[in-house]
């Protein structure tokens, strides 16, 4: 019996400090032995967004005991670890540097390989944890910083089919929440308020709904909600805004996912069509159920990571580490933090004014 690799993953790209130990079972399925996530919600909630300097300080204060706890919880000893994988980007450079330096130092002191990981690749591979999932698949990544459709062909091999040209979807949820007086990050609260509201009361814009392929845009929604939120008189008004916003997002995602299905078909002829939805917003139950129905209609198998693996965590970083370890794709100890690190390096930059779609 071959010894299965034991990988330590470390995540500190934004406002979660996380560490995790994973391995593989006899069937080759990645298994989480421990996953510790410490969120900084209280540190940032009064500021309406993540404050980089405060986030970095908090990572520094917590990183060593979080890694220690992940090792303790896993039932393994530090000497059992075969490689350390840390997020190297994209993210806030002051935050990335904490987990990256810690991971490099630990790997170096244990004399084991160090592996740098793209945070987005972590989200992309998160559904592989505890299950059997093979390439290729179509991925919708919806997080606080990114919103993209990608064809995932293998580790390190991505083709971007569509992207947001302005705000990320999680950002749009958080901005709407802020206008309704909900503290950061308010995305999950919008979903709860929406249940009590009338989704047809406000007609919100659907930017680039009928053009731009499966590219997306959400900035116009914020402007529209800013206008109507000035007339909020009671709680029901807030519920109706939340419900109208949630419904508009579902309409946009439905249409754009149908286009992404078509585009994926053009570049990949696969028998088993698989659609994976990952990132923090993939925790939204109504989005999940709408996309599930769409998959049934289009003969796609749908895969959502469990709710606790949708948001930022280190098990997904260890997951990428495990795949890279198996193909010996190690990193040197001078590997830099990369604030910008797209999965598809060949895709055009599509953000800002004057973007041609
Ligand atoms: O993937 P993630 O944890 O962090 C990033 O890499 O960005 O995503 C966080 C984002 C936040 O914007 C948060 O408000 C949003 O995901 N989010 C949700 C829900 N849960 C988290 N948005 C809508 N509905 C939810 N249930
Ligand atoms: Zn993330």
Model confidence, pTM: 0.94
The CATH class that applies to domain 7-128+309-326 reads alpha beta
Q: Is 279 in the pocket of ligand 1 (CB under 6 A)?
A: yes
3-state SS string for 85-103: EEEEECCCHHHHHHHHHHH
Q: Is 173 in the pocket of ligand 1 (CB under 6 A)?
A: yes
Q: Is the pLDDT of residue 355 over 70?
A: no
Q: Is 174 in the pocket of ligand 1 (CB under 6 A)?
A: yes
pLDDT digits (tens, 9 = 90+) for 28-69: 999 999 999 998 878 777 777 788 889 899 999 999 999 999
Quick one: which atom of ligand 1 is closest to the CA of 191? Answer: 24
* Å from CA of 280 to ligand 2 middle: 7
pLDDT digits (tens, 9 = 90+) for 108-142: 999 999 999 999 999 999 999 999 998 999 999 99
* Å from CA of 282 to ligand 1 middle: 8
CA distance 244 to 225: 10
Torsion of CA 44, 48, 53, 58, to 10 degrees: 10
Thinking of the domain 135-304, which architecture would CATH place it in?
Answer: 2-Layer Sandwich (3.30)
Could you give the angle at which helices 285-297 and 187-194 cross, rounded to 10 degrees? 80
pLDDT digits (tens, 9 = 90+) for 302-353: 999 999 999 999 999 999 999 999 999 999 999 999 999 999 998 987 776 5
CA distance 174 to 171: 5
In sequence order, the β-bridge partners of residue 151 are: 138, 159
In sequence order, the β-bridge partners of residue 154 are: 157
Q: Is 187 in the pocket of ligand 1 (CB under 6 A)?
A: yes
**Residue 257 near residue 293 (C-beta atoms within 8 A):** no
Q: Which tokens go with 193?
A: 């308020």
Angle among Cα 29, 299, 211 to the nearest 5 degrees reads 110
CA distance 143 to 124: 11
Q: What is the pLDDT of residue 353?
A: 59
Angle among Cα 154, 21, 311 to the nearest 5 degrees reads 65
Q: Is the pLDDT of residue 184 over 90?
A: no
Q: Which residue has the tokens 């914020």?
A: 222
Which residues belong to CATH 3.30.420.40 in the chain?
A: 7-128+309-326, 135-304
Greatest alpha-carbon pair distance for the chain in Å reads 68
Q: Which tokens go with 35?
A: 């996953």
Pick the closest to residue 19 from 112, 110, 81 (CA basis): 81
């Amino acid at each position: 019996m071959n010894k299965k690799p034991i990988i330590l993953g470390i995540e500190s790209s934004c406002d979660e400090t996380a560490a995790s130990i994973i391995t593989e079972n006899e069937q080759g399925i990645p298994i989480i032995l421990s996953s510790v996530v410490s969120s900084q919600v209280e540190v940032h909630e009064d500021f309406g967004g993540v404050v980089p300097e405060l986030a970095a300080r908090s990572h520094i204060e917590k990183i060593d005991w979080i890694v220690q706890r992940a090792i303790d919880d896993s039932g393994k000893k530090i000497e059992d670890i075969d490689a350390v994988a840390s997020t190297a980007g994209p993210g806030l450079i002051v935050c990335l540097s904490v987990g990256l330096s810690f991971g490099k130092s630990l790997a170096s002191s244990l004399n084991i390989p160090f592996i740098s990981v793209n945070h987005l690749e972590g989200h992309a591979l998160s559904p592989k944890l505890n299950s059997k999932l093979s390439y290729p698949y179509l991925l919708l990544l919806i997080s606080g910083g990114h919103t993209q459709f990608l064809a995932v062909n293998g580790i390190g091999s991505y083709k971007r089919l569509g992207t947001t040209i302005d705000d990320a979807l999680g950002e749009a949820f958080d901005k709407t929440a802020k206008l309704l007086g909900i503290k950061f990050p308010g995305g999950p609260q919008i979903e709860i308020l929406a249940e009590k509201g009338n989704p047809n009361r406000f007609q919100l814009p659907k930017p680039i709904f009928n053009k731009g392929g499966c590219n997306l845009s959400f900035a116009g929604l914020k402007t529209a909600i800013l206008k109507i939120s000035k007339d909020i008189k009671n709680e029901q008004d807030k519920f109706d805004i939340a419900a109208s916003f949630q419904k508009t997002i579902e309409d946009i995602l439905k249409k754009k996912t149908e286009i992404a299905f078509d585009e994926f078909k053009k570049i990949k002829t696969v028998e088993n069509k698989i659609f994976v939805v990952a990132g923090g917003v993939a925790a939204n139950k109504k989005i999940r159920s709408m996309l599930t129905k769409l998959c049934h209609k289009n003969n796609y198998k749908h895969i959502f990571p469990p709710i606790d693996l949708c948001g930022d965590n280190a098990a997904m970083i260890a997951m990428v580490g495990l795949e890279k370890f198996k193909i010996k794709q190690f990193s040197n100890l001078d590997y830099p933090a990369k604030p910008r690190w797209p999965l598809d390096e060949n895709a055009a930059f599509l953000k800002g004014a004057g973007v041609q779609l």
